C-alpha cells in the first residue's frame, strides 16, 4: 500500500478533502495544493503517486482569478531590489537588509543573466503572496522578468 496502511490512507483522504474545501476558491490554490503534497509526503512517508491522497494535475482544476503578486522593479540596481524584497518579507531575522543575505541572492541572479542563458537584463521580480514556510526556512517564490534583447 502506497501510504502505509488502510487506516492511514483513509485519514489522508479525509484530510485532503477538508483541505481542498479550504483552498479551492483561492486564486493561488495550486500553490497550496503543492504545499499540501510536500507536507503530507514528509509527514506520512508517502512513496509513489497516490491520487487519492495527493493533488495531481489530472484531478484538480485551476481556480479562477489572479494570483496575488508583489512586483519589485530592478531599475539600475539588482541589490537594491533584493534589499527591498528582504525588507518586505514577513519574517524576523537578524539578517534583514544586511549584505549577508542580499549579496549572495543578487550575485546568483547576476550570474544567471551573465551566463548568456537569457539575452535580456533583469527588469523586475514578481513574488507570490504569501511566503512559503518549510521547516525553519521562509521561501519567497517568484520569477524574474527580463527586458527584451
pLDDT tens-digit readout, 116-128: 666 667 788 888 8
Which residue blocks in the chain are alpha helix, DSSP H?
6-23, 29-44, 78-88, 99-114
For the chain, what is the mean pLDDT?
Answer: 74
**pLDDT in the model for residue 18:** 94
**pLDDT in the model for residue 119:** 62
The percent helix, strand, coil of the chain (3-state, each to 5) is: 40, 15, 45
53 vs 36: CA distance, rounded Å: 10
What value does the mean pLDDT take over residues 82-103? 67
In 3-state terms, what secondary structure has residue 145? strand
Say if residue 137's pLDDT is above 60: yes
**pLDDT in the model for residue 96:** 47
**pLDDT in the model for residue 126:** 85
**pLDDT in the model for residue 17:** 92
What value does the mean pLDDT take over residues 57-63? 51
What value does the mean pLDDT take over residues 29-53? 77
Determine contact, residues 84/40, Cβ cutoff 8 Å.
Answer: no
Residue with cell 537594491: 80
Amino acid at each position: 500500500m502506497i501510504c502505509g496502511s488502510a487506516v492511514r490512507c483513509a485519514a489522508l483522504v479525509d484530510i485532503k478533502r477538508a483541505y481542498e474545501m479550504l483552498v479551492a476558491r483561492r486564486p493561488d490554490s495550486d500553490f497550496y495544493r503543492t504545499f499540501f503534497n510536500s507536507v503530507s509526503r514528509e509527514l506520512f512517508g508517502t512513496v509513489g503517486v497516490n491520487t487519492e491522497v495527493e493533488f495531481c494535475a489530472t484531478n484538480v482544476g485551476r481556480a479562477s482569478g489572479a494570483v496575488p503578486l508583489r512586483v519589485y522593479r530592478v531599475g539600475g540596481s539588482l541589490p537594491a531590489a533584493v534589499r527591498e524584497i528582504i525588507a518586505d518579507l514577513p519574517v524576523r531575522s537578524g539578517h534583514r537588509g544586511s549584505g549577508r543575505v542580499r549579496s549572495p541572492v543578487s550575485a546568483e541572479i547576476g550570474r544567471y543573466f551573465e551566463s548568456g542563458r537569457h539575452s535580456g537584463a533583469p527588469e523586475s521580480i514578481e513574488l507570490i503572496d504569501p511566503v512559503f514556510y518549510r521547516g525553519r526556512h521562509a521561501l519567497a517564490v517568484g520569477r524574474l522578468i527580463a527586458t527584451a534583447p
